[in-house]
Amino acid sequence: MTPCQEKAFDILQRQGNVFLTGAAGTGKSYLLRQYLAGKGSEDFPVIASTGAAAVLIGGRTFHSFFGLGILEGGVEAAVMKAVHNKKVSRRLARAQCVIIDEISMLSGSVLQAADMVARKVRGRDQPWGGLRMIVVGDFAQLPPIAASGMEKDWAFRHPIWEQSEFQPALLSTVVRTQELDFLEILNFVRDGIVNDQVANFLNSRQTAGLDDDMDATRLYAHRTRAEAHNIERLKRIERPLQSFATKIMGDDRYADSMKRALPIPETLHLKVGALIMMRKNDMQAGYPRFVNGSLGHITGIHDDALEISLLSGEDIEIGPEKFSYLDGDGEEAACAWNFPVTLAWATTIHKAQGASLDRLVVDLSALWEPGQAYVALSRVRSSSGLFVEKWQASSIRVEPLVTELYASMTAAMDRYQPKPLFLSVPLSHAQSGTVETAGHVKKVDIYVQTKRMLDECLALEEIAMARGVRPEQVLLNIETMLQKKTVLSLTYLESSVPDFIAVCESFERHGLDHMKPVYDDFDADIPYVTLRLVRCIMMAGLR
């Protein structure tokens, strides 16, 4: 960790509400992962301000977690509806600390509505009903959406922000790039400063007659322009077009939300030679081969695999992967399967947030939102990969209130006095029975509950029925436990699978990463849920 990350990590481990913030590329997500390691998702739920952010981090949306929906009928009606929702009551009673990601895009009024729900449900007239809150984000990036002509309802300007007494954990060292000159430029742009140094830099990156065939991603403020550019570039490639529909499964009520939140299109159109962007981080063991934003060219297209030559020089093969959309309880309400790539000749500034791009072309001449120019420029790993089509000083804007906020936080960090450590309720408390909190009963941890039933050799369907979920959800929890190195004995489940040995042999031939080749081996006669069960049994046997 960098020194500022070490200090922020110490703050996270202590009592009180925390605002984890810092410039783009300072490692906020990395630090949060370190803090959450080993912590249960029900005790420490991670929620995101938007559906798109929730899908990328594998979390839930802010509105679904607090039961606010779309605030139908107004704030007061939405709050009362949430308060009488038993599921909302259970998860707020169970939670020990709630983490909100991308806080900058939440309005103050919505934040207050959630605070009102927490106070009423937990029966305590104090901020968030006494629930610990960690909010994460950067107000110098994308702001909350406001109606035309209306003042932005910044969360930090609302009384609930001051009442929450968020201790700032401010990260200042950028780890995405180590170019000191470029970092200085980014800091100026973040503060809305256009001096000679910024102007000279942008002019130096402005290329006359920019090569339209260059392997770089163009950032646009509008989605229609990005889509049109991708279509036009794809048509130029004289190769067969192959299309892959994104398969969306699950509760119909969540299907539309899932479509809007996905970082990939409903139908993925590809050709050999197309420039693509990876839209997931590589989760394989060892060093990551790619991250969200890595660029490459398609070199081969198969029904269940893509061959890609990354611009980093590495050749990889990937299969379809799952994107999950969770309900307020953290259960998978819908999921989508497709290759985790998009065409990369163009994308929007909003879609690029959170990505680290190899090469970037940007037009800074007609931006209107504070923070847009900063988000765009800070996506690229190195200044050598940045190309500016044109720019205007008026596009480099910052909200003065944001500048004031960060100046005050820097001073607060200097005055920081360590608080006592934040001690979570030990897991053994949940195992020993129920825990009463503010008049509500906490549920037993789902992983503890599932492991206990596995130890008792219950069938998969019996576990699902006892928990009131689908078998697929139980398998998802088992996979999570196996990834966390939990030792599970699953051999007793072998007898429930017809042709178990044959299925294992098929997995041994094709590997455990992809189920479709095994599915095809048996002419689609064995359901995917059965294949997932076999894969879990095999993974558990490798521990």
pLDDT digits (tens, 9 = 90+) for 328-378: 777 788 888 999 999 999 998 887 877 778 888 988 887 877 888 888 898
- Domain presence at residue 438: no
- Domain presence at residue 38: yes
CATH number for 533: 1.10.10.1390
- Domain presence at residue 426: no
Same domain, 225 and 352: yes
| pLDDT at res. 309 | 94
d(CA 367, CA 398): 12
The CA-based diameter of the chain, rounded to the nearest angstrom, is: 73
Same domain, 155 and 223: no
Cross-strand bridge partners of residue 159: none
Q: Coil, strand or helix: which one is 328?
A: coil
**pLDDT digits over 17-35, tens only?**
999 998 877 888 889 988 9
- Domain presence at residue 425: no
Same domain, 113 and 256: no
Q: Are 89 and 295 in contact (CB under 8 A)?
A: no
Same domain, 19 and 168: yes
Same domain, 392 and 508: no
d(CA 11, CA 422): 10
* Residue 385 DSSP label: G
- Domain presence at residue 423: no
The 10 Å Cβ neighbour count of residue 36 is 16
Q: What is the mean pLDDT of residues 83-105?
A: 90
Q: What is the mean pLDDT of residues 216-241?
A: 91
Looking at the whole model, is its pTM more than 0.75? Answer: no
* Residue 205 DSSP label: T
**Tokens 């093969």 found at:** 317
**What HEC string does 148-193 produce?**
CCCCCCEHHHCHHHHHHCCEEEEECCCCCCCCHHHHHHHHHHHCCC
CATH number for 158: 3.40.50.300
d(CA 450, CA 456): 10
**pLDDT digits over 471-519, tens only?**
877 888 898 888 888 889 899 999 889 889 999 999 999 888 778 888 8
- Domain presence at residue 248: yes
Helix axes 86-94, 108-122, angle to 10 degrees: 90
Same domain, 127 and 187: no
Domain count, the chain: 3
235 CB burial (10 A radius; 0-12, 13-18, 19+): exposed
500 CB burial (10 A radius; 0-12, 13-18, 19+): middle
Same domain, 90 and 114: yes
Same domain, 156 and 210: no
Same domain, 140 and 206: no
Same domain, 201 and 350: yes
Is the per-residue pLDDT at 241 higher than 90?
Answer: yes
Among candidate residues 397, 428, 456, the one where a domain is terminated: 397
- Domain presence at residue 424: no
182-192 b/e with 16+ CB inside 10 Å = b? bbebbbbbbeb
Same domain, 372 and 408: no
283: pLDDT confidence band, cut at 50, 70 and 90?
low
Domain range for 520 is: 445-542
Handedness of CA 405, 410, 414, 420 (dihedral sign): positive
Same domain, 378 and 466: no
**Tokens 């360590």 found at:** 418
| pLDDT at res. 229 | 92
Share above pLDDT 90 across residues of the chain, in percent, rounded to a whole number:
30
End-to-end CA distance of the chain: 30
* Residue 38 DSSP label: T
Q: Give kind and range of the element (H or E) at residue 62.
A: helix 62-65
**pLDDT digits over 427-475, tens only?**
333 333 333 333 343 445 778 888 888 988 888 888 887 776 778 778 8
- Domain presence at residue 439: no
Q: Coil, strand or helix: which one is 59?
A: coil
